[in-house]
Amino acid sequence: MSIYRTVKPFVLGSGSPRRKDLLGSAGLEFEIKPATCDEPAPYPGQDPEDYAIKMAELKAENVAANNPQAYVLGSDTIVVRDRDILGKPVDRDEAYQMVKSLCGHKHKVISGCALISPEGKKISYAVSTEVEFIDFNEAAVRAYAATGEPDDKAGAYAIQGQGAFLVKGISGSYTNVVGLPLARVIETLVDLGVVVAGDC
Protein backbone atom coordinates (compact mmCIF):
# COMPACT_ATOMS: atom_id res chain seq x y z
CA MET A 1 0.00 0.00 0.00
CA SER A 2 1.31 3.43 -0.93
CA ILE A 3 1.67 6.17 1.66
CA TYR A 4 0.09 8.73 -0.67
CA ARG A 5 -1.83 8.60 -3.91
CA THR A 6 -2.26 11.25 -6.56
CA VAL A 7 -5.85 12.34 -7.27
CA LYS A 8 -5.26 15.27 -9.63
CA PRO A 9 -3.04 15.57 -12.73
CA PHE A 10 0.50 16.23 -11.55
CA VAL A 11 3.62 16.93 -13.61
CA LEU A 12 7.22 17.03 -12.42
CA GLY A 13 8.96 19.66 -14.52
CA SER A 14 12.39 18.09 -14.11
CA GLY A 15 14.37 15.26 -15.63
CA SER A 16 16.29 14.66 -12.41
CA PRO A 17 16.24 10.94 -11.53
CA ARG A 18 16.74 11.91 -7.88
CA ARG A 19 13.56 14.02 -7.77
CA LYS A 20 11.68 11.28 -9.61
CA ASP A 21 12.80 8.67 -7.08
CA LEU A 22 12.00 10.87 -4.07
CA LEU A 23 8.43 11.56 -5.20
CA GLY A 24 7.94 7.94 -6.22
CA SER A 25 9.14 6.70 -2.83
CA ALA A 26 6.01 8.18 -1.25
CA GLY A 27 3.73 6.50 -3.77
CA LEU A 28 2.98 9.56 -5.89
CA GLU A 29 2.05 9.13 -9.54
CA PHE A 30 3.08 11.86 -11.96
CA GLU A 31 4.25 12.63 -15.45
CA ILE A 32 7.80 13.77 -16.11
CA LYS A 33 8.19 16.66 -18.51
CA PRO A 34 11.56 18.41 -18.12
CA ALA A 35 11.71 22.15 -18.63
CA THR A 36 13.36 23.25 -21.87
CA CYS A 37 14.18 26.86 -20.96
CA ASP A 38 17.61 28.40 -20.55
CA GLU A 39 18.84 28.89 -16.99
CA PRO A 40 20.48 32.30 -16.57
CA ALA A 41 23.38 32.65 -14.18
CA PRO A 42 22.78 34.63 -10.98
CA TYR A 43 23.49 38.31 -11.21
CA PRO A 44 26.24 39.74 -8.96
CA GLY A 45 25.06 39.98 -5.37
CA GLN A 46 21.80 38.13 -5.97
CA ASP A 47 20.38 36.48 -2.86
CA PRO A 48 20.84 32.69 -3.22
CA GLU A 49 17.32 31.84 -2.03
CA ASP A 50 15.87 34.39 -4.43
CA TYR A 51 17.88 32.87 -7.28
CA ALA A 52 16.77 29.31 -6.46
CA ILE A 53 13.12 30.37 -6.34
CA LYS A 54 13.37 32.32 -9.59
CA MET A 55 14.90 29.31 -11.35
CA ALA A 56 12.17 27.00 -9.98
CA GLU A 57 9.48 29.42 -11.16
CA LEU A 58 11.09 29.71 -14.59
CA LYS A 59 11.06 25.93 -15.01
CA ALA A 60 7.51 25.51 -13.68
CA GLU A 61 6.17 28.26 -15.95
CA ASN A 62 7.92 26.75 -18.95
CA VAL A 63 6.30 23.35 -18.41
CA ALA A 64 2.91 24.70 -17.26
CA ALA A 65 2.52 26.60 -20.53
CA ASN A 66 2.15 23.26 -22.34
CA ASN A 67 0.29 21.43 -19.56
CA PRO A 68 -2.54 23.76 -18.50
CA GLN A 69 -4.63 20.91 -17.09
CA ALA A 70 -2.08 19.83 -14.50
CA TYR A 71 -0.37 20.95 -11.33
CA VAL A 72 3.26 21.50 -12.30
CA LEU A 73 6.24 21.37 -9.95
CA GLY A 74 9.49 23.10 -10.82
CA SER A 75 12.59 22.89 -8.64
CA ASP A 76 16.18 24.07 -8.61
CA THR A 77 18.87 23.08 -6.11
CA ILE A 78 22.03 25.11 -5.53
CA VAL A 79 25.06 24.87 -3.27
CA VAL A 80 26.18 28.03 -1.50
CA ARG A 81 29.62 28.57 0.03
CA ASP A 82 29.55 31.76 2.07
CA ARG A 83 27.46 33.83 -0.38
CA ASP A 84 28.88 32.25 -3.54
CA ILE A 85 26.59 30.03 -5.60
CA LEU A 86 28.44 26.96 -6.87
CA GLY A 87 27.16 25.56 -10.14
CA LYS A 88 28.06 22.33 -11.89
CA PRO A 89 31.78 21.88 -12.55
CA VAL A 90 32.95 22.34 -16.13
CA ASP A 91 35.55 19.59 -15.77
CA ARG A 92 37.03 17.26 -13.17
CA ASP A 93 39.74 19.67 -12.14
CA GLU A 94 37.06 22.21 -11.24
CA ALA A 95 35.12 19.44 -9.47
CA TYR A 96 38.18 18.78 -7.34
CA GLN A 97 38.62 22.49 -6.60
CA MET A 98 34.95 22.84 -5.58
CA VAL A 99 35.02 19.88 -3.21
CA LYS A 100 38.36 20.99 -1.80
CA SER A 101 36.88 24.44 -1.05
CA LEU A 102 34.01 22.84 0.88
CA CYS A 103 36.05 20.40 2.95
CA GLY A 104 36.51 21.32 6.59
CA HIS A 105 33.72 23.90 6.35
CA LYS A 106 29.95 24.30 6.45
CA HIS A 107 27.89 25.26 3.41
CA LYS A 108 24.23 25.51 2.49
CA VAL A 109 22.16 23.54 0.02
CA ILE A 110 19.10 25.52 -1.08
CA SER A 111 16.21 24.17 -3.13
CA GLY A 112 13.73 26.52 -4.70
CA CYS A 113 10.31 25.01 -5.43
CA ALA A 114 7.42 26.40 -7.46
CA LEU A 115 4.04 24.72 -7.89
CA ILE A 116 1.60 26.11 -10.46
CA SER A 117 -2.08 25.07 -10.49
CA PRO A 118 -4.28 24.73 -13.59
CA GLU A 119 -5.88 28.05 -12.56
CA GLY A 120 -2.47 29.73 -12.60
CA LYS A 121 -2.03 29.95 -8.84
CA LYS A 122 1.67 29.83 -7.93
CA ILE A 123 3.19 28.72 -4.63
CA SER A 124 6.93 29.31 -4.33
CA TYR A 125 9.41 28.81 -1.49
CA ALA A 126 12.99 27.85 -0.69
CA VAL A 127 14.26 25.27 1.78
CA SER A 128 17.80 25.47 3.16
CA THR A 129 19.95 22.73 4.71
CA GLU A 130 23.34 23.22 6.33
CA VAL A 131 25.98 20.64 5.45
CA GLU A 132 29.40 20.21 7.07
CA PHE A 133 32.23 18.39 5.32
CA ILE A 134 35.17 16.64 6.95
CA ASP A 135 38.58 18.24 6.59
CA PHE A 136 39.77 16.94 3.27
CA ASN A 137 42.35 14.34 2.39
CA GLU A 138 43.65 15.58 -0.95
CA ALA A 139 44.15 12.11 -2.43
CA ALA A 140 40.62 11.07 -1.50
CA VAL A 141 39.08 14.21 -2.96
CA ARG A 142 41.03 13.78 -6.21
CA ALA A 143 39.92 10.17 -6.37
CA TYR A 144 36.30 11.23 -5.83
CA ALA A 145 36.48 13.84 -8.59
CA ALA A 146 37.91 11.16 -10.89
CA THR A 147 34.87 8.89 -10.38
CA GLY A 148 32.77 11.20 -12.54
CA GLU A 149 29.97 11.38 -9.97
CA PRO A 150 30.47 15.14 -9.40
CA ASP A 151 30.30 15.96 -13.13
CA ASP A 152 26.63 17.01 -13.28
CA LYS A 153 26.07 17.97 -9.64
CA ALA A 154 25.80 21.47 -8.24
CA GLY A 155 28.67 21.87 -5.80
CA ALA A 156 30.33 18.79 -7.35
CA TYR A 157 29.07 16.12 -4.95
CA ALA A 158 26.18 13.74 -4.36
CA ILE A 159 25.27 13.07 -0.72
CA GLN A 160 23.27 10.00 -1.74
CA GLY A 161 26.21 8.54 -3.64
CA GLN A 162 29.92 8.06 -3.10
CA GLY A 163 30.14 11.66 -1.92
CA ALA A 164 28.55 10.62 1.37
CA PHE A 165 32.05 10.00 2.76
CA LEU A 166 32.65 13.77 2.77
CA VAL A 167 29.72 14.61 5.01
CA LYS A 168 30.39 15.10 8.71
CA GLY A 169 26.84 16.19 9.49
CA ILE A 170 23.75 18.03 8.27
CA SER A 171 21.19 20.31 9.86
CA GLY A 172 17.84 20.28 8.11
CA SER A 173 16.23 18.19 5.38
CA TYR A 174 18.35 15.36 3.99
CA THR A 175 16.17 14.98 0.89
CA ASN A 176 16.69 18.67 0.20
CA VAL A 177 20.41 17.96 -0.24
CA VAL A 178 19.54 15.09 -2.59
CA GLY A 179 17.49 17.50 -4.70
CA LEU A 180 13.97 18.00 -3.32
CA PRO A 181 12.62 18.93 0.15
CA LEU A 182 10.16 16.04 0.10
CA ALA A 183 8.27 16.76 3.33
CA ARG A 184 7.58 20.38 2.35
CA VAL A 185 6.58 19.44 -1.21
CA ILE A 186 4.15 16.75 -0.06
CA GLU A 187 2.70 19.11 2.54
CA THR A 188 1.98 21.60 -0.25
CA LEU A 189 0.47 18.93 -2.51
CA VAL A 190 -1.78 17.71 0.32
CA ASP A 191 -2.92 21.26 1.10
CA LEU A 192 -3.90 21.73 -2.54
CA GLY A 193 -5.69 18.38 -2.75
CA VAL A 194 -3.33 17.01 -5.38
CA VAL A 195 -2.45 13.98 -3.26
CA VAL A 196 -4.17 12.25 -0.33
CA ALA A 197 -2.84 9.87 2.29
CA GLY A 198 -3.44 6.13 1.91
CA ASP A 199 -6.92 5.13 0.80
CA CYS A 200 -8.60 8.39 1.92
Q: pLDDT tens string for the chain (200 positions)?
A: 689 999 999 999 999 999 999 999 999 999 999 999 998 999 888 999 999 999 999 999 999 999 999 999 999 999 999 989 998 899 999 999 999 999 999 999 999 999 999 999 999 999 999 999 998 788 999 999 999 999 989 999 999 999 999 999 999 999 999 999 999 999 999 999 999 997 64
Distance CA 115, CA 60 (A): 7
Give the count of beta carbons closer than 10 Å to the beta carbon of residue 142: 16
Q: How far apart (Å, rounded) are the C-alpha atoms in residues 52 and 157?
A: 18
What length is written for the chain? 200
Angle of helix 138-146 relative to helix 92-102, nearest 10 degrees?
Answer: 140
Position 199 scores a pLDDT of 62
d(CA 133, CA 8): 40
Question: Which sequence spans correspond to the domains of the chain?
Answer: 4-197
- Catalytic annotation on 152? no
pLDDT recorded at residue 109: 97
Q: CA–CA separation, 50 vs 64, rounded Å?
A: 21
CA distance 53 to 50: 5
Catalytic residue among 50, 76, 84, 191: 76
Give the pLDDT score at 166. Answer: 94
What is the spatial distance between Cα 128 and Cα 79, in angstroms, rounded to a whole number? 10
Quote the strand ranges of 82-139, DSSP E: 84-86, 106-116, 122-133
pTM of the predicted model as reported, rounded to 2 decimal places? 0.93
Q: How far is CA 35 from the centre of its chain?
A: 14
CATH topology of domain 4-197: Maf protein (3.90.950)
Task: Give me the pLDDT at residue 87, please.
Answer: 86
On whether the CB atoms of residues 113 and 181 are closer than 8 A, the answer is yes
Whole-number pLDDT of residue 148: 96
pLDDT at 196: 95
- pLDDT computed for residue 139 by the predictor: 93
